[in-house]
């Protein structure tokens, strides 16, 4: 009998065997329904074998009318599972997040005018006919709503022959992009980079590129050349563009539509179930030619993926920290290799791992060193806060305050960057010294003065700000300590009472529409001073922005993060690069108490490569990534005693490995979250050690209490 080995999107170790019923057409990769336990489950046929044994097996119930999952995608799922020490079913779960796309599109009845007139005309019918002429064919409910009548009027007109009712799909295909449309004129440097990318795409096969261009150098227009070539060379080719935060990239999406005459198919967490179903189906059938998405778009079932682009490849949001932990940039390179596709990693401040790969010859490097036209990079000056302290109770130095006044007087815009949300990041009691924390957590509560709430940005827990200390009961004793964006904005309003000041953070811009509104008003000159968190650094183009002020440049330098200096340099470079992107020259002022820090000195001198050389030398000496491997094992338990116990058990179960060093267990920097006590192990090894296999062996030998939780993190980016 023919046996299908079915992988289910569940934390199961391997596929399960099922009989293929006579006459059922199934192939490897088919999406099917089969009984698992007491329920019917959706899965993927991972293999088909012939079996002459007498085993009693359950049968497959149903085959979905969707194209089977391609072999390259199945190999990618297997690779991701092994590399990231996860079950293959967990990875498959990420690839099946829109299971409604497995079936054909639902249909709806649309009414179209026939040109006939009813024998009896009423005011309601007249409204419907006039409305339909204006808005075109639509459903009865939509036409009736637009005309201000009931749906029965529309259906009555259909019965008289004035409307023709048609069944049409609700999920329409995305408009096809036109690769022959021309974009803006390219500079000689841009044209040379674009020509090289076109050549590589046309030749086919796996080819990785680093597109290394300063902020505002036109990297998007250059990789548009590669997209155009991919679409023109193969009528079935598909392109994936990964963006760090899709809700912030409306301007990029508009550029796609301008360049190719049609917007891309989107994929991100803000989509509705219907939108997600539509994109998944169109990708699976090969009809979605360009897809832009967040990191999870990497797991869509492309039929003919020929080009992958990772924009802002250095961005930390490409690393998923919950569920299956993976880095989308690194997995994107492997997906491109399995698909035999070209891949472009684009950034103004590429990650050290990417730079080392380029310098070793594994990636081909294309450089863009100038902004087109009259635009040029802003001058960056360090403001030594020891020599230029702000007035008592303030956070802006005299130097930055004066520049804000001068910029407003010149009719130009300013941007202030403070990477802390809310009004104050810490609330303490002046009477007893109590620091308010989230229940069941070691995370401090942040004061949000506009909503008068205290919020935990780690767990999302919040409460109204109390009028007395919850510990000692002292009234009116709670005080916010330190600045957040709300506190900085308050200071700007006192300094510039006539200025139009707005805050741009994930609190004030919740969702794409709110983000788009702020970006459009800033670009249109309706805001004088924008105070924002790292959301402001994400590729926005504000022509009249000439001053960028970094309020607290040192905030990202603390802690034991091996990438702290690199991340600080990247973020501040991106923020500073928002200034001077049009004809007017820009300037950035960076407030710091550590002007001698290599990251700060590199910012001021523009010596990015010198800074990366320092980072490279330090990591090479210590054997840290990218010159060595690193992993983490994170354990948690509902109480401190169990956490200590499972930490000792895990330590004893650690396998011996040549060159592998295990540090820990130690309490995590955030030692308690949602009532669970957390411990961490840190594991290092040389590059030639298969650290994924080591971690898998360690996990397989762990026998922990059921209340304990454990997860592995290969190539960790967060050490909290």
Q: Give the domain CATH number at 640.
A: 3.30.70.600
Q: How far is CA 411 from the centre of its chain?
A: 35
Half-sphere exposure of 63 (CA within 13 A, CB side): 21
Tens digit of each residue's pLDDT (9 = 90 or more) over 373-417: 656 778 899 999 999 999 988 999 999 999 999 999 999 999 999
Contact criterion met (CB below 8 Å) for 247 and 381: no
Q: Which two tokens stand for residue 333?
A: 């390179």
| Percentage of the residues of the chain whose pLDDT score is greater than 70 | 97
Asked if residue 160 belongs to a domain, the reply is yes
Residue 147: what pLDDT?
Answer: 92
Name the DSSP class of 372. S
Which domain does 335 fall in, by range?
Answer: 188-368
CATH number of the domain that residue 31 is part of:
3.40.1440.60
Verify that 307 and 216 share a domain, yes or no. Answer: yes
Task: Confirm whether 202 is domain-assigned.
Answer: yes
Q: How many residues make up the chain in this entry?
A: 720
Answer whether residue 653 is part of any domain: yes
Cα separation, 363 vs 328, in Å, equals 17
- Residue 470 domain-assigned? no
Average pLDDT of the segment spanning 227-248: 89
Which pair of tokens denotes residue 704?
Answer: 């922990």
H/E segment holding residue 428: strand 426-429
**What band does 557 get if pLDDT is binned at 50, 70 and 90?**
confident
Radius of gyration (Cα) for the chain, nearest Å? 29
Q: Are residues 669 and 695 in the same domain?
A: yes
In a domain, 531, yes or no: yes
Rounded Cα–Cα distance for residues 561 and 17 (Å): 46
Q: What confidence category does residue 580 fall into, taking pLDDT thresholds of 50, 70 and 90? A: confident
DSSP run (H or E) holding 604: helix 598-605
Q: Are residues 154 and 255 in the same domain?
A: no
Pairing of strands 453-455, 446-448: antiparallel
SS3 assignment for 402-427: HHHHHHHHCCCEEEEECCCCCCECEE
User: Can you give the pLDDT at residue 389?
Assistant: 93
- Answer for the pair 594, 586: CB distance below 8 angstroms, yes or no: no
Per-residue pLDDT at 248 exceeds 70: no
> Cα dihedral angle (518, 524, 525, 531), rounded to 10 degrees?
20
> Beta-carbon neighbour count of residue 581 at 10 Å?
23
| Whole-Å CA distances, 700 to 87, 492, 519, 661, 689 | 12, 56, 49, 19, 18
What is the reported pLDDT for 91?
A: 96
Residue among 510, 577, 566, 508 nearest 542 (CA):
577
Q: 27-36, 503-512, 531-540: lowest mean pLDDT where?
A: 503-512
- Residue 92 shares a structural domain with residue 111: no
Question: Cis before residue 525, ω within 30 degrees of 0?
Answer: no
Q: Of 592, 616, 640, which closes a domain?
A: 616
Among 100, 584, 73, 106, which Cα is nearest to 334's? 73
Is residue 92 within 8 Å of 16, Cβ to Cβ?
no
pLDDT tens digits, one per residue of 294-328 = 999 999 999 999 999 999 999 989 999 988 999 99
In contact, 563 and 450? CB cutoff 8 Å = no
Q: What angle (nearest 5°) sits at the alpha carbon of residue 315, between those of residues 624 and 572?
A: 95
Does any domain span residue 283?
A: yes
Q: Which residues pair with 50 in a beta bridge?
A: 2
| 415 and 533 both lie in a single domain | yes
- Are residues 140 and 151 in contact, defined by beta-carbon separation less than 8 angstroms? yes
- Between strands 31-36 and 62-63, the pairing is antiparallel
> Are residues 119 and 43 located together in one domain of the fold?
no
- Work out the pLDDT band at 559, boundaries 50, 70, 90: low
pLDDT in tens, 270-294: 888 999 999 999 999 999 999 999 9
- d(C-alpha 284, C-alpha 173), whole Å: 12
* Residues 552 and 483: beta-carbon distance below 8 Å: yes
Report the domain count for the chain: 5
Backbone angles phi, psi at 9, to 5 degrees: -75, 65
Closest CA to 555 of 606, 612, 593, 587: 593
Domain end residue (candidates: 301, 334, 368): 368
Note the Cα 247 to chain centre separation in Å. Answer: 9
Helix axes 71-83, 88-95, angle to 10 degrees: 130
Residue 427 covered by a domain? no
Instruction: Please report which confidence band the pLDDT of residue 113 belongs to, taking 50, 70 and 90 as the band edges.
Output: very high
The pLDDT, as a whole number, for residue 498 is 96
Tell me the CATH number at 145.
Answer: 1.10.10
Evaluate whether residue 426 is within a structural domain: no
Q: What residues have CB less than 8 Å from 250, skipping those under 6 apart?
A: 512, 515, 516, 519
The answer for 533, left when phi > 0, alpha when psi is -120 to 50, beta otherwise, is beta
- In angstroms, the CA 243 to CA 239 distance is 13
- Model confidence over 466-518: pLDDT tens digits? 999 998 999 989 988 888 899 999 999 999 999 999 998 877 766 667 777 88
Beta bridge partners of 241: 292, 309
Tokens 């990041």 belong to: 425
Give the H/E segment covering residue 600.
helix 598-605
The answer to whether 201 and 306 have CB atoms below 8 angstroms apart is: yes
Q: Which strands, in side-by-side order, build the sheet including 661-673?
A: 661-673, 676-685, 629-637, 709-714
pLDDT higher than threshold 60 for residue 247: no
What proportion of the chain, given as a percentage, has pLDDT over 90? Answer: 70
DSSP-assigned letters across all residues of 637-674: ESSHHHHHHHHHHHHHHPPP-TT-EEEEEEEEEEEEET
Answer yes or no: do 204 and 283 share one domain: yes
pLDDT of residue 472: 92
Same-domain check for residues 362 and 398: no
Domain boundary among 616, 644, 679: 616
Contact between residue 535 and residue 421 where contact means Cβ atoms under 8 Å apart: no
Token pair 């119930």 is found at 61
Q: How many other β-carbons are positioned within 10 Å of the β-carbon of residue 482?
A: 18
Does 121 sit behind a cis peptide bond, omega within 30 degrees of 0 on the bond before it?
Answer: no
Number of helices (H) and strands (E), helices first, in the chain?
19, 31
Q: Nearest Cα to 486, choosing from 534, 424, 538?
A: 424
Taking the C-alpha atoms of residue 685 and residue 660, their distance in angstroms, rounded to an integer, is 5
Residues 570 and 643 in one domain: no
Phi, psi of 179 (to 5 degrees): -70, -10
Tokens of 30: 């088919």
Please state the pTM of the whole predicted model: 0.88
Same domain for 493 and 525, yes or no, is yes
For position 513, what pLDDT does the model report? 72
CATH of the domain at 300: 3.40.50.300
User: Who's near 420: CB < 8 A, 6+ residues apart?
Assistant: 446, 482, 483, 484, 485, 533, 552, 555
Question: Domain check: are 396 and 326 in the same one?
Answer: no
The answer on 675 and 637 residing in a single domain is yes
Residue with tokens 């050690």: 689
**Sign of the dihedral through C-alpha 513, 348, 330, 303:** positive
Please list, residue by residue across 144-166, b when 16 or more beta carbons sit within 10 angstroms of its beta carbon and e when fewer do.
beebebebebbebbbeeebbeee
**Band of pLDDT at residue 250, cut at 50, 70 and 90:** low
For 114, the 3-state DSSP assignment is coil
């Amino acid at each position: 009998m023919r046996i299908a080995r079915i992988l289910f999107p569940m934390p199961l170790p391997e596929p399960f065997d099922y009989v293929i019923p006579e006459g059922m057409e199934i192939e490897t990769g088919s999406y099917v329904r089969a009984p698992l336990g007491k329920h019917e489950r959706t899965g993927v046929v991972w293999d088909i074998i012939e079996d002459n044994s007498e085993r009693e097996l359950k049968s497959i119930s149903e085959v979905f009318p969707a194209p089977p999952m391609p072999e390259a995608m199945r190999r990618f799922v297997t690779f991701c599972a092994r590399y990231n020490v996860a079950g293959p079913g967990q990875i498959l779960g990420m690839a099946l997040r829109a299971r409604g796309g497995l079936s054909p599109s639902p249909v709806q009845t649309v009414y179209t005018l026939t040109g006939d007139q009813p024998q009896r005309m009423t005011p309601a019918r007249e409204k419907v006919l006039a409305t339909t002429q204006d808005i075109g064919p639509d459903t009865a409910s939509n036409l009736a709503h637009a005309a201000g009548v009931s749906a029965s009027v529309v259906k009555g007109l259909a019965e008289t022959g004035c409307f023709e009712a048609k069944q049409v799909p609700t999920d329409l295909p995305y408009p096809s992009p036109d690769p022959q449309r021309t974009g803006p004129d390219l500079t000689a440097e841009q044209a040379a980079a674009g020509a090289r990318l076109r050549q590589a795409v046309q030749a086919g096969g796996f080819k990785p590129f680093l597109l290394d261009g300063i902020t505002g150098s036109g990297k998007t227009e250059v990789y548009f050349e590669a997209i155009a070539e991919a679409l023109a060379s193969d009528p079935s080719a598909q392109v994936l563009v990964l963006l760090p935060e899709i809700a912030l990239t409306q301007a990029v999406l508009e550029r796609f539509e301008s360049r190719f005459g049609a917007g891309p198919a989107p994929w991100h967490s803000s989509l509705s179930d219907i939108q997600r179903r539509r994109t998944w189906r169109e990708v699976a059938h090969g009809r979605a030619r360009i897809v832009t998405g967040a990191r999870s778009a990497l797991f869509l079932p492309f039929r003919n993926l020929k080009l992958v682009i990772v924009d802002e490849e250095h961005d930390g949001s490409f690393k998923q920290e919950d569920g299956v932990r993976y880095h989308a940039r690194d997995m994107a390179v492997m997906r491109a290799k399995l698909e035999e596709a070209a891949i472009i990693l684009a950034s103004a401040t590429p990650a050290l791992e990417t730079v080392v790969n380029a310098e070793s010859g594994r990636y081909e490097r294309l450089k863009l060193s100038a902004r087109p036209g009259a635009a040029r990079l802003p001058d960056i000056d360090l403001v030594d806060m020891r020599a230029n302290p702000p007035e008592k109770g303030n956070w802006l130095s005299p130097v930055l305050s004066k520049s804000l006044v001068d910029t407003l007087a010149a009719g130009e815009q300013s941007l202030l960057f403070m990477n802390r949300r809310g009004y104050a990041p810490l609330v303490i009691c002046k009477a007893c010294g109590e620091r308010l924390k989230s229940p069941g957590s070691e995370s401090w509560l942040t004061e949000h003065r506009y909503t008068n709430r205290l919020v935990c940005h780690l767990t999302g827990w919040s409460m109204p700000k109390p009028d007395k200390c919850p510990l000692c009961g002292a009234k009116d004793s709670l005080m916010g300590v330190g600045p957040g964006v709300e506190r900085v904005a308050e200071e700007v309003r006192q300094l510039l009472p006539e200025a139009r000041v707005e805050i741009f953070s994930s609190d004030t811009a919740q969702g794409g529409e709110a983000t788009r509104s702020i970006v459009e008003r800033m670009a249109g000159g309706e805001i004088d001073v924008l105070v924002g968190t790292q959301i402001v650094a994400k590729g926005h183009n504000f022509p009249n922005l000439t001053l960028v002020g970094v309020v607290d440049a040192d905030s990202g330098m603390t802690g034991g993060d091996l990438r702290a200096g690199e991340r600080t340099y990247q973020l501040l470079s991106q923020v500073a690069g928002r200034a001077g992107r049009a004809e007017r020259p820009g300037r950035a002022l960076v407030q710091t108490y550590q002007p001698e820090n290599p990251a700060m000195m590199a910012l001021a001198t523009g010596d990015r490569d010198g800074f990366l050389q320092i980072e490279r030398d330090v990591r090479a000496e210590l054997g840290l990534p990218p010159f060595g491997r690193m992993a983490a094992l994170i354990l948690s338990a509902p109480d401190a005693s169990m956490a200590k116990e499972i930490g000792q058990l895990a330590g004893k179960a650690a396998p011996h490995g040549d060159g592998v060093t295990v540090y820990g267990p130690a309490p995590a920097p955030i030692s308690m979250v949602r009532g669970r006590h957390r411990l961490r192990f840190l594991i290092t090894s040389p590059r030639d050690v298969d650290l994924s296999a080591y971690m898998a062996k360690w996990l397989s030998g762990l026998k922990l209490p059921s209340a304990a939780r454990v997860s592995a993190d290969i190539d960790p980016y967060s050490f909290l």
